[in-house]
Structure 1
Amino acid sequence: MFELSQEHEDFRKVVRDFAEKEVAPHIADWDRASHFPTDLVPKMGELGLFGLVVPEQFGGSAAPGQGDFTSLCVAIEELGRVDQSIGITLSAGVGLGINPILTYGSDEQKARYLPDLVAGRALAGFGLTEPEAGSDAGATKTRAGRDEDEWVINGAKAFITNSGTDITSVVTVTARTGTNENGTAQISAIMVPAGTPGFTVEPPYHKLGWHVSDTHGLTFEDCRVPAGNLLGEQGEGFKQFLKTLDDGRVAISALALGCAQACLEMATDYAGTRMAFGRPIGVNQGVSFQLADLAVMVEAARLLTYKAAWLKDELAEGRRSVREVKHAAAIAKLHSTEAAVTATRIATQVFGGNGFMEEYPVARFYRDAKILEIGEGTSEVQRMLIARGLGLPQA
């Protein structure tokens, strides 16, 4: 059975120390100003956070053909415990930026992009979601046609993380490149370097939460890139992004776990010191029972998250099946994200009026949590996948 090794726990302490020293003192100001801290990314790179699943030949720390996905989840959890925006910057930077290139890229593509991405000198995005194609990603309308030795891309993407920073180097975009024999859209993935003519990064969204995370819409108008920018094989984009999302769901589960853990810690501390009617409010069962329930949710989220991460690492070693990982990822993502949303509600309630004030971190976590139930597959999609994993008939 799985368990975190002493090396993982030692690594947790390193990341927690980094988050508390480099993020915690500044995050309220960054959040208030919706400021993306570009200078923090190289520091995360120096710590090795972007290279945990990347082979040493590209600057990472993983053995050839292997990657310690569990360590990545530890890092995301600990960053997310201090701030969710910084946690998603790492999660998306690796899962959506680095992993598609690492998994499907050519030797030339890997050599060109991975060293800077691993070092934190650059970030990459993954353009999948569109204004009319979210959960139904197969409804992609962005198109890419061949014109001799170039792809010409036209369309739009929505809600793309790490796509418009000063250090964004490339965005991998899914696009229709033809029609399959059965009449379905042929989807391919194409790499579009930042600054390419015809590639426009729209103004940042005014979001409910994740104020420190970089998120933009993207438009492509006769955007031309070399034919060699195709990622993997033509027509394989649908399979590629499904695999990418499977991994991302475990990472989002770790991010949600960090959120729930932070809320449990803050609310427990507050309940032990906030006085009402001459005694700490934690004495009251109305408060203590809620925190007890929250502790159970957090512990379950931790076990589900790290079981899924462990299975992912076992899969890399050939000891588990893709089906097992997909099922565990959906379960972990569903429970952890819904637990995180509940955790923020409980913590805000324990803080009372103070919980509604922005100077208390619980308010930021409350705003940040809801997107966890939406991104990387909604809760409804996770329930569909879990039901499918049970072998139930499908429509």
Structure 2
Amino acid sequence: MPAPADLTINPLPSPRTGPFREEHDMLRDQVRRFLEEEIKPHADAWEEDGMVPRDVLRKMGELGFFGIRYPQAFGGSDLDTLATVVLAEELGKSTYSGVAITALVHTDMASVHIFNGGSPAQKAAYLPGIISGELITAVGVTEPEAGSDVKSIRTTAQRDGNDFILNGSKMFITNGVHADLYCIAAKTGEDERPSRNVTMFLVEKGTPGFSVVRALDKHGWRSSDTAELLFEDCRVPADNVLGEEGHGFYAIMKNFQNERLVIGAMAVGESQAALDLTLDYVRTRKAFGRALWDKQAIRQRLSMLAARTEAARQLVYATAERDAAGEDVIREVSMVKALCGELVNDVMYDCLQFHGGAGYMRGMAIERMARDARVQAIGGGATEVMLEEIAKRL
């Protein structure tokens, strides 16, 4: 049957009510303008190059995107978790998730270790450059045989006078090829409680004994550089310890909450962008004499995906609001990561399907977006791990 005249799905408007304030709306508009002017016209080339140009990252820094939650004393804006969600959601809407994750790893997964655990001297030395985009950061926790199971990492750091000597490797490190500064997790003890054996270190690019083994060739996120790192008798000063020795596990667990919320917000943005693209397509593409939108099965499936996307969006917003208020949201963040990581893949599957053969062709946004989405049920905590975290708290 044809679609009723009053049945339509429109892109959801920017939030102007609820937890968002004027500064959040201004940020959202600013990010959208930047994406239209500086990202979308050029990002296809970055997919081929496997990286986002440094001058683009510096522009993001100049506009304040890299210092949203950092103090004004270092050049930041001193905003809240809701502002981070705005940035992540809008970057997700760009349709270039490799660009989005390049920025978000820097802002919300790597440099936060310096802000949360760094000494006053470390913050003074590094945060201004991090916020301006002059210094790009990466975080090295994952190893060839240790991902979500942080306690099982094998990279070691042995004390030697006023230094530590690092040996080991890291795998799947976003920004790993081109970063300037790395936050590296290593074992520094043999305590019977494995959680007391991990320490975070600052390692600068060019430190003797530290090398980028190779850039990794990925299924998606093609404009995000990803690397394998190697440490061979890499000597770093004890002053490069981030936080307290032996407390790195807790620092990683704490930041996982921020990382997972950001990935969830990004996935919501990606889902909305895919729906918008597909709605435009099915309203104009004809099959058997009618627009695809006239097919009840298609418009109902898109309607359900729109409902699920809106539900996920509201969970992300509510969780961010509670986090900004200082509440414990580990359960809710785990729900966000599990729900949004699966949702974005479901959305991409159907949206590509409704593009037909065109959706399978390189050069089509939906084809790229479907590849990019796959990792979001894996990275930052696989869905299965997140469900176990939720189960512990039910």
Q: Place the TM-score, normalised by the shorter chain, in its bin.
A: over 0.9
The match for 1:349 is 353
User: What is the DSSP-based 3-state SS (H/G/I as helix, E as strand, rest coil) of the residue aligned with 1:39?
Assistant: helix
* Identical-residue share of aligned pairs (%): 38
Q: Report the counterpart of residue 80 of structure 2 in structure 1.
A: 68
CA distance in 2, matches of 1:208, 1:385: 28
Q: Which residue of 1 aligns with 2:186?
A: 175
Asked if 1:234 is matched to 2:250, the reply is no
Q: Deviations over 1:42-68 (max 9, x none)?
A: 111111111001001111010xxxx41
Uncovered stretches (5+) of structure 2, i.e. residues with no partner = 1-16
Amino acid at match of 2:118: G
Aligned to 1:336: 340
Asked whether the 8 Å contact 1:2–1:310 carries over to 2, the reply is no
CA contact (8 A) 1:49 1:72 kept: no
Q: Distance in 2 between matches of 1:91 and 1:68?
A: 15
**RMSD of aligned alpha carbons:** 1.4
Q: Equivalents in 2 of 1:223, 1:4: separation in Å?
A: 46
Q: Is the 8 A contact 1:97 1:123 kept in 2?
A: no
The question of 1:101 aligning with 2:114 is answered: yes
Deviates more, 1:151-160 or 1:326-335: 326-335
How big is the shift at 1:5?
A: 2.4
Q: Which residue pairs with 1:20 in the alignment?
A: 36
Determine the structure 2 residue equivalent to 1:216. 227
Match of 1:151 in 2: 164
Shift of 1:9: 2.3
**Corresponding residue for residue 271 of structure 1:** 282
Secondary structure at the counterpart of residue 246 of structure 2 = coil
Structure 1 residue ranges (4+ consecutive) displaced by more than 3 angstroms after TM superposition: 181-185
Q: 1:77 aligns with which of 89, 92, 95?
A: 89
Q: Which runs of 5+ in 1 are unaligned?
A: 391-395
Distance in 2 (CA, whole Å) between partners of 1:35 and 1:162 is 9
1:128 to 141, 162, 168: 141
Query: Residues of 2 paired with 1:31 and 1:268: CA distance?
Result: 25
Structure 1 residue 89, shift from structure 2 partner: 1.4
1:308 to partner: Cα distance: 1.5
Match for residue 286 of structure 1 among 297, 301, 322: 297
Count of matched residue positions in the alignment of Structure 1 and Structure 2: 377
Deviation readout 1:2-61 (Å, 9 max, x if unpaired): 522243223211111111111111122221332432221011111111100100111101
Write the letter of the residue equivalent to 2:137: A
- State the AA in 1 paired with 2:381: G
Cα deviation for residue 255 of structure 1 reads 1.0
Contact 1:77–1:87 under 8 Å retained in 2: no
Instruction: Name the CA distance, whole Å, in 2 between partners of 1:221 and 1:254.
Output: 37
| Alignment check: 8 A CA contact 2:195 2:250 kept | no
Distance in structure 2 (CA, Å) of the matches to 1:221 and 1:229: 17
SS in 1 for 2:189: strand
For the 8 Å contact 2:151–2:194, the answer to whether it is kept is: no
Alignment of 1:196-211 (within 5 A): 196-211=207-222
Contact 2:196 2:249 in 1 (8 A): no
1:50: which partner in 2? 66
Shift of 1:185: 6.0
116-125 or 173-182: which moved more? 173-182
- Report the secondary structure of 2:112's partner residue: helix
Counterpart CA distance in 1 for 2:318 and 2:71 is 23
Matched letter for residue 15 of structure 1: V
How far apart are 1:235 and its partner, in Å? Answer: 0.5
Report the residue type matching 1:203 in the other structure.
R
Calculate the TM-score normalised by the size of structure 2.
0.93
1:393 paired residue number:
none
1:307 and 1:328 in contact (8 A); partners too: no
The amino acid that maps onto 1:310 is: E
Contact 2:159 2:165 in 1 (8 A): yes
- Cα distance, 1:220 vs structure 2: 0.1
Q: Which amino acid aligns with 2:114?
A: I
Residues 181 and 336 of structure 1: CA distance in aligned 2, closer, same or farther (over 3 Å): closer
Does residue 188 (structure 1) correspond to residue 199 (structure 2)? The answer is yes
| d(CA) in 1 for partners of 2:39, 2:267 | 18
Deviations 1:358-389 (A, max 9, x none): 12100000000011011110000110111111
The separation in 1 between residues aligned to 2:261 and 2:181, in whole angstroms, is 24
SS of 2:355 mapped into structure 1: helix
Look up the match of 2:11.
Answer: none
Aligned partner of residue 178 in structure 1, secondary structure: coil
From 367, 370, 375, give the equivalent of 2:371. 367
